[in-house]
Amino acid sequence: MKNTSVIIIILIACFGMEARSKDIKALLNKVPPTHPRLFMRRGEEDSLRKKIAADLLLSQAFEHVTTVSDGILSTKPVKRKKTGKRLLSVSRMALKRATYLSFAGRMTKNPQYAARLEKELLAAAAFSDWNPSHFLDVGEMTAALAIGYDWLYDELSAEARKTIKAAIIEKGLKTSLKGGWWVKKTNNWNQVCHGGLVLGALAVMEDEPELAVQIIERAIQNVPRAMAEYAPDGAYPEGPGYWKYGTTYNVVLLSALESVLGTDFDLSDAKGFLESSDYYLHATGPTGLFFNYSDCGTRGGVSPAMYWFAAKRKQPSLLWRERQELIQFLEINHNPDRSSGRFFPFLLIWASPLKSISPPPATQYTADGRSPIGIHRSGWKNTRETFVGIKAGSPGVNHAHMDIGSFVLDSKGVRWAVDLGSQSYHSLESKGVVLWNRSQNSQRWNVFRLNNFSHNTLVVDGQKQRVNGRASILSFSDKAPTPHTIVDMSAVYKGQLAAAKRTIGLRKNQSVLVQDELKTLDRKTAVRWGMVTRAKVTITSDRSAVLKQDGEEFFISVLNPENAKLELFDTENPPESFDARNPDTRMIGFHTDIPASTNAHLHVLLSPDKL
């Protein structure tokens, strides 16, 4: 009976896949075999030009695209040069050049852009392969050739089209049929690889309809595995930096399907996905810096995907931060030899007018999920607002650090409590560090920036947090006078403490209170409280200190325990030879010994005003 049930389930699944294949094939058959068709079809350029011309900021953004494209004209095409095991930087450079040149060429009809694009795409097409052993490289390179091939199809020579199309098919799509762990993975690899390959499939679908159906069907079946990570509220487990990477490719996938086939197959209805734009908005402080937990960088820059979300949700306030980021971005001279901002032209496709955007309605934010967070800010009006974010979750999550209970804090336009961020993967891998093993005793956790010794959290008896532990948010309040988040950290200190709770509260005067409620096991326990900063620190008494940075002052006061003695811990020179230095940083904190089987309270007040 059991075997019969299994067979029935398999048959139902196979029938569902067959039905979906027929649906996809039917939709493909309805699409005219003409180019361009990805994201905006032939003839839609005029309406886009009008939209851009009607908005000063969008006009400046378009001018940026043409200026950078002009700079690309004098650069040499990409070469197949790996960095360690990755070809990724080359793929990304090809993608940036493809998006800029093909968008500029399509909108201006300047033949120089098409000529330079053709050289770029032919150079990449001539590579022996696109490094399938690190399949992200293939995903991004396939996206590059697909966009360039489609957007400037008529301007490319017939021979070039033939060569580029063959490369998309052989080095991208058919290579992917061998599969790999990324196909069913739940992290950003899933989104990037399937996203790039679907672009390739849609670009060549009239020549390879069966292959296109296979690639698209596989994506529709497996991308929901990664999109499930946004549930229930939109918090991306890998942090806002990887949100930008994975989610941008996810949006590119959805937008491409919608633009070519007229449907995204309801993928955008995944629980928490659309709401994740709230997460990205709130995870950036008034300084413009991310709440950069896990392997996240400190600054995101412009996020074209947010323009898609704002339009999709009809919520312009999602672009409150983005508008400022765009203004700052456009004030900088951009090197055409850098791969950053490779999807920037898509902003112009997805954007609505940016003249008047109201601030977001909420100042407090929380989201559950694999890496729950709580964020509190005093307001949105300027860069001097106070902002504090705290992280729960587990070190065992992909790209995670031992940073449970850690926080970052902005006030007066300065980030006072900082996260050192991740170290370059290649710098560690090249020294033989086994970086991606997340077991408790893995060498990964000897890396200073990854363990709890370098984060704004607790170290108990000199031990590391427990990888298999998971901290949850016990309580969140967005109510005055003290909105706050309470995190139960007990599981990540299992065997070290009987219980551990941390509360972060934002007070009416814009000060922040950090409260740790601990219970020891049946032995005396040594606990270190610490906060990393780039500020110059002057310890003014055993339990108070003043921080100075960028002409501003910030104040620290230890309220409990009464016998605490503030001191500075070295973060500039980590202990291992493979560790990167952290120049001009230091940790301020204190040690306290807590008797066996005792409830202890560690309360620290962080204030923009003198205490």
- Beta bridge mates, 514: 504, 604
What is the token pair recorded at 390? 């705290």
The proportion of the chain whose per-residue pLDDT surpasses 90, expressed as a percent, equals 93
User: Residue 173 gets which letter from DSSP?
Assistant: I
The predicted model gives 424-445 an average pLDDT of: 96
Q: Are residues 409 and 485 in the same domain?
A: yes
Structure tokens at 309: 């979300």
513 and 417 within one domain: yes
Do 375 and 495 fall within a single domain? yes
Specify the CATH number for the domain of residue 123: 1.50.10.100
pLDDT digits (tens, 9 = 90+) for 165-191: 999 999 999 999 999 999 999 999 999
**Would residue 355 count as lying in a domain?**
no
User: Hunting for tokens 């199809």 — which residue is that?
Assistant: 153
Mean pLDDT of 272-300: 95
Binned at pLDDT 50, 70 and 90, residue 355 comes out as: confident
- Say what the pLDDT of residue 18 is: 56
Q: Is residue 480 part of a domain?
A: yes
Same structural domain for residues 250 and 325? yes
Whether residue 102 is found in the same domain as residue 226:
yes
Claim to verify: residue 83 and residue 46 sit in the same structural domain: yes
Residue 1 confidence (pLDDT) = 46
Task: Report the distance separating Cα 145 and Cα 201, nearest Å.
Answer: 11
pLDDT at position 19: 54
Torsion 490-493-494-496 (CA) sign: negative
Contacts of 479 (CB under 8 A, 6+ apart): none
Stretch 280-286: mean pLDDT, rounded?
A: 97
Contact 535, 523 (CB under 8 A): no
Does residue 102 register a pLDDT over 80? yes
SS3 label, residue 227: helix
- Amino acid 5: pLDDT: 44
Q: What is the mean pLDDT of residues 571-596?
A: 98
429 found inside a domain: yes
Q: Of 350, 373, 389, which residue sits at a domain end?
A: 350
Residue 454, domain member (yes or no): yes
**Does position 491 have pLDDT exceeding 60, yes or no?**
yes
Residue tagged 């532990």 (tokens):
469
* DSSP helix/strand/coil, 588: strand
Residues 11 and 55 reside in one and the same domain: no
> In this structure, are residues 290 and 299 in contact, taking their beta carbons and an 8 Å threshold?
yes
DSSP string, 498-512: SEEEEEEEE-TTS-E
In a domain, 358, yes or no: no
Burial (CB count within 10 angstroms: exposed 0-12, middle 13-18, buried 19+), residue 463: middle
Distance of CA 247 to the CA centre of its chain: 7
Tens-digit pLDDT profile for residues 136-166: 999 999 999 999 999 999 999 999 999 999 9
For the record, the structure tokens of 520 come out as: 């020891």
Q: Is the pLDDT of residue 384 over 80?
A: yes
The CA distance from 485 to 504, in Å, is 5
Whether pLDDT at 353 is above 90:
no
In a domain, 107, yes or no: yes
Contact by Cβ (8 Å): 542, 564: yes
Kindly state whether residues 23 and 42 are assigned to the same domain: no
User: What is the average pLDDT value for the chain, to the nearest integer?
Assistant: 95
> Among residues 432, 188, 416, which one has the least CA distance to residue 296?
188
Q: What pLDDT, on a 0 to 100 scale, did the predictor assign at position 583?
A: 98
467: which 2 tokens?
């990888």
Please indicate, yes or no, if residue 359 is contained in any of the structural domains.
no
β-bridge partners, 536 = 548
Last residue of a domain, one of 305, 322, 350: 350
pLDDT score at 333 = 86
Q: Of the candidates 350, 375, 400, which is a domain's last residue?
A: 350
Omega before 583 cis (within 30°)? no
Measured CA to CA, the distance from residue 49 to residue 267 in angstroms comes to 30
Quickly tell me which residue has 């006072």 as its tokens.
Answer: 416
| C-alpha 289, offset from chain centre | 13
| pLDDT at 433 > cutoff 90 | yes
Is pLDDT at 413 greater than 90 in this prediction? yes
- Do 112 and 259 share a structural domain? yes
Kind of pairing between the strands at 599-607 and 552-560: antiparallel
State residue 272's pLDDT score.
Answer: 97
Name the residue range of residue 187's domain: 31-350
**CA dist 296 to 137, 289, 579, Å?**
20, 11, 17
Q: Could you give the CA distance from residue 215 to residue 256 in angstroms, rounded to a whole number?
A: 14
Mean pLDDT value across residues 590-608: 98
Predicted confidence (pLDDT) at residue 484 exceeds the cutoff of 70: yes
What is the CB neighbour count within 10 angstroms for residue 472? Answer: 15
The answer to the question of residue 265 being in a domain is yes
Q: Are residues 424 and 293 in the same domain?
A: no
pLDDT at res. 17: 53
pLDDT of residue 13: 41
Distance in angstroms (rounded) separating the CA atoms of residues 330 and 353: 17
For position 569, which CATH number holds?
2.70.98.70
Q: How confident is the model at residue 240 (pLDDT cuts 50, 70, 90)?
A: very high
Q: What is the layout of strands, in order, in the sheet containing 387-391?
A: 364-367, 373-377, 387-391, 407-411, 414-417
Helix (H) or strand (E) holding 305: helix 304-313
Task: Tell me the pLDDT band of 299, cut-offs 50, 70 and 90.
Answer: confident
pTM: 0.93
Answer yes or no: is pLDDT of 7 > 60. Answer: no
Give the C-alpha separation, 394 to 199, whole Å. Answer: 34
Do 431 and 482 fall within a single domain? yes
How many separate domains does the chain show?
3
Per cent of the chain over pLDDT 70 is 97
Span 498-510, mean pLDDT?
98
Are 5 and 44 within one domain?
A: no
Residue 422 · residue 242 · CB < 8 Å: no
Query: How many whole angstroms from its chain centre is CA 51?
Result: 29
Helix axes 56-72, 88-108, angle to 10 degrees: 120
